[in-house]
Structure 1
Amino acid sequence: MKIAELLNPNAIAGELKATGKEEALGELTDVLAKAFGNLDPEEVLRVLHEREALGSTGIGEGVAIPHGKLARLDRLLLAFGRSRGGVDFDSMDGRQAHLFFLLVAPEESVGVHLKTLARISKLLKNPAVRRRLIDAPAEDLYTIIAEEEDRM
C-alpha cells in the first residue's frame, strides 16, 4: 500500500504552529480527526502518548512518525504535517523535527502498520526529499509525497 493512497490530502498540515511535542501531537490529531470525521481526538492522543512513553518517535534527521493503534478503526489512517520552524520532539539525534507523519492503525493490524512505517522511513531517509518537502508551498506537499514515493 502506497503512502499517497493512505494519505487524504485534507489530512495535511502545511504549517504547524507547534514548538513542542504536545502541541504538535495535538495539531496533527486535530488534522486527522477533521479529515476522517469519526475519530475521538482524545482517544488518539491517549494512544500516541502511550507510544511516546515507550520512546520518542522522533527518528532523527528532522523526522518524527508518531503512531498508535485504536480498537475501533477499520483501516489505517495517516496525516502529514510540516513545521519549518521546527518542533522539539525529543528526537533521537537531539535535533528538532520538521516533517511528521501521524499514523493510527487498527489494533489487530500488524503487517500494514509496519509496512507503512517502513515505507515512510524509506521515503524520508533521502535528504533531497526532506529538503523538497520543507521548502515547498503547502499546496504542493501531497503531490511531492506522491511523486517521490513513485521514485522509490
Structure 2
Amino acid sequence: MRLADYLDKDLLISNIQATEKGAVLAELIAPVSEKIPNLDADKALKVLLEREYLGTTGIGDGIAIPHGKLEDLDEIVLVVGRSPGGVDFEALDFKLCTIFFLVLAPEKVAGMHLRILAHISRLLKEESFRRQFLEAGDKEQLWDLLART
C-alpha cells in the first residue's frame, strides 16, 4: 500500500491557521468540499466532532489523525495539514499537535479505512519522517515528501 495513492495536492494544507480543535477540523474539511461539491461539510464536521467526543484522535508526538465515515462518499479522502504553531487537540501526551492526517471514508469500506489509518500511524512513528514533514519549507516541498510515501 502506498499512501501517495490516496493523496491529492489540493487537499494539502501546509499552514493551518485555526487554533482550536473544532476550527482545525473545519479548516481541514474546507478543501474537501471544494473538491467534492456534493459533500456536506457540516455533516462531515459533525461526524468528526462526534468521533472526537468518543476519544481524542491526538495520538501523541504532535500527531492527530481525525477520521470518520460518511455515507455519501464514494472513495476514501485524505487531507494532510501542518500547524507550525501547534494546536491543543487534547492529545494523549498533552502536547500540541502540529501534524494532521484527516481520513474520511465511505461507510462501506471499513477494511481499507483501517489499513490506511494503520499505514499513517506506522509512517508517523518514524521520527525522521515527522522532522522532515515539519521542516519542509513550503507546500511543494511537503507535497514532494508525501508523494514518496
- 2:51 and 2:78 mapped to 1: Cα distance? 16
Deviation at 1:38, TM superposition (A): 2.6
TM-score (norm 1): 0.93
Relative to structure 2, which stretch is displaced further, 88-97 or 2-11?
Answer: 2-11
Does the Cα contact within 8 Å between 2:7 and 2:147 map onto a contact in 1? no
Deviation at 1:36, TM superposition (A): 2.8
Matched residue SS, 1:10:
helix
Supply the AA of the counterpart residue of 1:145.
L
Hey, what does 1:30 align to over in structure 2? 30
Hey, what does 2:64 align to over in structure 1? 64
Hey, what does 2:101 align to over in structure 1? 101
- 1:142 aligned onto 2:143: yes
CA deviation profile, 1:111-133 (whole Å, cap 9, x unmatched)? 10000000001111111111111
- 1:134 and 1:76 mapped to 2: Cα distance? 25
Does the Cα contact within 8 Å between 1:89 and 1:96 map onto a contact in 2? yes
- 2:73 and 2:110 mapped to 1: Cα distance? 13
Hey, what does 2:75 align to over in structure 1? 75
Supply the AA of the counterpart residue of 2:94.
G
- 2:69 and 2:49 mapped to 1: Cα distance? 11
RMSD of aligned alpha carbons: 1.1
Hey, what does 2:20 align to over in structure 1? 20
Supply the AA of the counterpart residue of 1:114.
L
Supply the AA of the counterpart residue of 1:55.
G
Deviation at 1:108, TM superposition (A): 1.7
CA deviation profile, 1:12-55 (whole Å, cap 9, x unmatched)? 00100111111110100102222333311101101101111110
Supply the AA of the counterpart residue of 2:20.
G
Does the Cα contact within 8 Å between 2:39 and 2:72 map onto a contact in 1? no
Does the Cα contact within 8 Å between 1:21 and 1:89 map onto a contact in 2? yes
Equivalent pairs counted in the alignment come to 148
Supply the AA of the counterpart residue of 1:139.
E
Structure 1 consecutive aligned stretches of length 4 or more whose deviation exceeds 4 Å: none
Structure 2 segments unaligned to the other structure (5+ residues)? none
Does the Cα contact within 8 Å between 1:16 and 1:24 map onto a contact in 2? yes
Hey, what does 1:130 align to over in structure 2? 130
